Amino acid sequence: MVLPILFYGNPILRKKCSKINRFSYYYKKKINNLIKNMFDTLHKVKGIGLAAPQIGKNINLFIVDTPYFNGYNIEIYKEVFINSKIIKTYGKKYKYNEGCLSIPGVICSIKRKSDVYIEYYNKYWEKKSKTLTGIRARVILHEYDHIKGKLFIDYLSSKKIKLIKKKLIFIMNKQNL
């Protein structure tokens, strides 16, 4: 089932997310269904990452799937991140254009570190840890920011925010239609 995506201005996008109780069987079942719906949604809009707050759920869950990623030659990467925690970001900072399903039509050059070490549970509730580099790290960092109530535009200078302010106001008003 395709879920509605929340737009910039919705207060849920600015909240820090809660951990998911991994010991609740009932909740696990609901989470598995939510994950399936998140992938349905992501594929419908041809995105590469989606975090639970973007669909109105204030929980530490995000997914990545990169078959629609244009402009970068990478292998398809598909993963579920439950109760994720970034342990370390490192490497050289570099700029790359980012966009967001919650801020449609806005693409900005954002500077992020090239490498990330993250711990999480996968969709089978197996504890995992991984080091990701380059564009994969960038996607993880972008989605993880959603879990912390942060958006990619928060990395922009006030001058750049002024340049996109009309677009942001339009997006905020769009959700009230």
Q: Residue 129: exposed, middle, or buried by beta-carbon count in 10 A (0-12, 13-18, 19+)?
A: exposed
Q: What number of other Cβ atoms are within 10 A of residue 44's Cβ? A: 12
What the block records as the tokens of 15 is 């909240």
Cβ atoms within 10 Å, residue 61: 29
**Do residues 56 and 101 touch, judged by C-beta distance below 8 A?**
no
Widest pairwise Cα distance in the chain: 49
Q: Which helix (H) or strand (E) holds 25?
A: helix 25-44
Query: How many whole angstroms separate alpha carbon 80 and alpha carbon 160?
Result: 33
* Annotated catalytic residue within 75, 79, 126, 143: 143
Give the integer Cα–Cα distance in Å for 155 and 171: 19
> Is 143 marked active-site?
yes
Residues known to be catalytic = 143
